[in-house]
Chain A
Amino acid sequence: MNRFAWVNARTIEEASAAVSATVADAMTELAGNAAAGDTAVLKAGGVDVLDLLKEGLLAPARIVSLRGIPGLDAVVEEAGGGLRIGSMATLSRLADHPVVRRRYPALSEAVRASASPQIRNVATLGGNLLQRPRCWYFRAHEYHCLRKGGGHCFAIAGENQYHAIFDNRPCAIVHPSTAATALVALGATVELADAQGAVRQVLLEDFFGPPDRDLQRENDLKPREVLTAIRLPALPAGTHMAHLKQGEKDSFDWPLADVAVVLELSPDGSCRKAALVLGTAAPVPHRAKQAEGLLAGKHIGEDLAREAGRAALEGATPLAKNAYKLPLFETLVRRAILKAALG
C-alpha cells in the first residue's frame, strides 16, 4: 500500500472540493503509468478502496473520508411515499431497517445476501454501488486488462466461470453489486452533488453503463461528484417483490447468479407491470425485458413463470466456462416470480 494523506471532510461541498478523481479514473491513470501526482479519491466505508490499495491498483496522494459528514447516512421517508437512503447508510442497517423490510423487501434481502456480517457493518450502500468489478484479472496487478486501459480482456478466453453471460464483449465483467440488482428493479435513482452544490438525479439504470459506453468506468460518476443518496420511488398498491441469490455455498460468498423481481398486480390478480433484473449476469444489472413483456397482462402461475425464466435467457452468449449459469438463472427467475406473486 502506498503512503497517502488523509482528509476528514465535514460537508459534502468540502468532500467534493477536496477530491480530484473517481476511483476508476485514479486506477486508469496509475495503470497507464502516468505520474499519480496529486490524485485525491473519496472513501465511504472504505472496504473496496482498501482492497484496491492493498493490491497496488490504487495509489492516491490523498484519501478523503465521507464518514464524518453529518446526516449522510440518514434514511428518511419522503412526503410522496418514497424512501431516501443516505449513501453512507451501512448494508447491515438497511438489511434490518423496518421500512426497507416492510416496503422494499427485495432490497433488504439483497443486502442481507451481500458479503459477511463484518463487512455489512462497515460497507455503505453508496460504496457498494460504486465498487469496482470483482473480475480476478481486473483485480490482479499483473494483468493490464482492457478495463485498466490495456489492450486485452483475459477473461474471454481465460478463466471465465464467474463472468458475464450477456454483453460480454469486449469486456466480460459482471456488475459487482447485489444491492444494485434490487435497486434497478425498484426503479431507484441516485442523487449526485458537486462542489458548487448542484445536485443531479439519475435513474440508477442509466447511471450504470456497459463497456461499449465506457470501458474504464462502470457508471457515470463525475470526478468531483459525491453520491449523496439513493432514492426509492413510492410503490403503487399491489406491488410485490423478491430477490434471490445463488452462491456456491450458503455462507459468505459472491453470487453466481441473482435475480430481482418487482410485480405490480391488479386487484384481479393479473400482472399490470413487471421489472425483472438479473445480477451477476452482465457488466450492468441486466433488465430481462422480453420476460417482463411476457408477464404483462397475464395471471402469474407456475407455467408462465417457467416460460419467463426461459425468455429471460434469450440472447445470452455464455463463454467457455460459464454456461452453467443459464439453468441457474432460469430457475432463479421462475422462483423469484412465484415468490413475489404468491409469497
Chain B
Amino acid sequence: MLNPDDSGSRERGISRRTFLRSAVGTTMVDAASGFLDDAKAAEGSGVPVAVAGPEPVPVTLKVNGVERTLRLEPRVTLAEALRGPLGLTGTKIGCNRGACSACTVWIDGVTVCSCMILAIDIGARSVTTIEGLAQGETLHPVQAAFIEHDALQCGYCTPGLVMSCAALLRNRPDPAAEEVRAAISGHYCRCGTYPHVVAATLTAAKARQA
C-alpha cells in the first residue's frame, strides 16, 4: 500500500490532487482544526490524506463558549493549550498521566483528563473549564458548597474535583454518597479532603433542588 499507484484511490478514479483538495475542504467544514495552510500529502508514504504538523497548525478550540484559533503543534495536550496560550490556569496539571485527575475538564459536558487528550483531537466539541462554571459573580452551587464545607486545603486538586462533582449533578441531581465517591474515584487529594468533598456535593445537590 505504500505505492500510490496501487492504492484504492486510483481505482475509484480520484487523483491524488483532487482527493487532497476535497480532503482539505472537508477538514475545514469539520472545523476540526483548519488544516488549510498546513495540509499536505504524507510524503514518503504517498498516502493521499491531509497531514497537519509537526510544526504549529491552526487549532480552533471552543472553551467556555468562546471560540479561539491557536497555532499549536499536534503534540500539545488540551491541558497545555488551556494553561498556556489560553491563560486558563484554573486547570491544574498534577501527574500529567491521567492518574490524578487534577486536570479534569468537560468535553461536551463529560469529564476527561485534559492532560491525556491532544488539543488537535478536540475538534468541534465544547470544552468547559473551572473558569466557565460560575455565572458571572455567582458561584456554581458545588463551588459554594466546597467553601462552606471546607472541602479544600492546598487547593491544587480542587478545580478538578469541582468539575467532577458538578458533572455528576448534571446527570444525577440527587446522588447518593456512594455515587459521589464513584464520581471522584479518579481524583487524588493528598490533603485528604474526600469526606468534605462528598458532604459538599450532597449539600450542593440539595441547594439546587431547593
Which of B62-70, B108-116, B149-157, B198-206 sits within the interface?
B108-116
A118 touches B111 (CB 8 A): yes
Is A328 positioned at the interface, with any CB of B under 8 Å from its CB? no
A33 at the interface (CB under 8 A from B): no
Q: Is A18 an interface residue (CB 8 A)?
A: yes
Chain B residues with CB below 8 A from A6, complex form: 51-53, 57, 74, 118, 120
Does the CB pair A17–B186 fall under 8 Å? no
A117 to chain B: which residues have CB within 8 Å? 111, 164, 182-183, 185-186
**Residues A251 and B185 in contact, CB atoms below 8 Å apart:** yes
A16 and B1 within 8 A (CB): yes
Return chain A residues, CB-CB under 8 Å to B143.
Answer: none
Indicate whether B98 reaches chain A with its CB closer than 8 angstroms: yes
Cross-interface CB contact of A53 among B57, B75, B104, cutoff 8 Å: B75
When the two chains form their complex, are residues A5 and B111 in contact, meaning their CB atoms are under 8 A apart? no
Listed residue (B50, B113, B116) with the most chain A CB atoms within 10 angstroms of its CB: B116
Q: Which of B47, B50, B118 contacts A50 (CB 8 A)?
A: B118
B96 interface contact, C-beta 8 A: yes
Q: How far is the CA of A92 from the CA of B186 in the complex (A)?
A: 14
Interface residue from B49, B73, B77, B107 paired with A7 (Cβ < 8 Å) = B49
Given contacts A8-B27, A10-B26, A40-B45, contact A119 B54 (CB under 8 A): no
| Chain A residues closer than 8 Å to B54, beta-carbon distance | 3-5, 61
Q: Is the CB of B97 within 8 A of A51?
A: yes
User: Knowing A68-B30, A117-B111, A251-B186 touch, does A5 contact B53 (C-beta < 8 A)?
Assistant: yes
Measured in the bound complex, the distance between the Cα atoms of B7 and A16 in whole Å is 11
Q: Are A195 and B186 in contact, CB atoms less than 8 angstroms apart? A: no
A207 contacts the other chain (CB 8 A): no
**A46 engages B116 (CB within 8 Å):** yes
Taking a contact as CB atoms under 8 Å apart, the answer to whether A118 and B32 are in contact is: no
- Contact with B51, one of A62, A115, A252 (Cβ below 8 angstroms): A62
Residues of B near A252 (CB, < 8 A) are 99, 185-186
Complex interface: chain B residues within 8 A of A92 (CB): 110
Q: Which bracket fits the contact residues of A? A: 35 or more
A116 with B75, Cβ < 8 A, contacts A7-B50, A51-B98 known: no
In this complex, which of A4, A5, A122, A195 has the most chain B Cβ atoms within 10 angstroms of its Cβ?
A: A5
Does the CB pair A14–B75 fall under 8 Å?
A: no
Q: Does B44 contact A (CB under 8 A)?
A: yes
Asked whether any CB of chain B lies closer than 8 Å to the CB of A185, the reply is: no
Does A316 make an interface contact (CB < 8 A)?
Answer: no
In this complex, what residue of B is CB-closest to A13?
B8
On whether A68 and B123 interact (CB within 8 A), knowing A4-B74, A195-B8, the answer reads yes
User: CB distance B112 to A17 under 8 Å?
Assistant: no
Q: Within 8 Å of chain B (Cβ to Cβ): is A99?
A: no
Q: Does A54 contact B (CB under 8 A)?
A: yes
CB–CB B75/A68 < 8 A:
no
> Which chain A residues border B27 with CB–CB below 8 Å?
8
Q: What 10 pairs between A and B have smallest CB-CB spacing? A: A116-B186, A6-B74, A3-B54, A251-B185, A5-B53, A6-B52, A252-B186, A118-B113, A195-B1, A38-B44
Show the binding face of B for A, using Cβ within 8 Å.
1-2, 7-8, 23, 26-27, 30, 32-33, 42, 44-45, 47-55, 57, 73-75, 77, 96-99, 101, 104, 107, 110-113, 116-118, 120-121, 123, 164, 181-183, 185-187
23 sampled A-B residue pairs with Cβ under 8 A = A3-B74, A4-B53, A6-B53, A8-B27, A8-B33, A10-B23, A17-B7, A17-B48, A20-B45, A38-B45, A40-B42, A40-B45, A46-B121, A50-B117, A65-B121, A67-B123, A68-B32, A117-B186, A118-B98, A119-B186, A121-B111, A195-B7, A250-B185
Given contacts A1-B75, A6-B51, A195-B1, 12 further A-B contacts (CB under 8 A): A5-B51, A7-B51, A16-B1, A17-B1, A18-B47, A46-B117, A115-B186, A116-B98, A122-B112, A122-B117, A251-B185, A252-B185
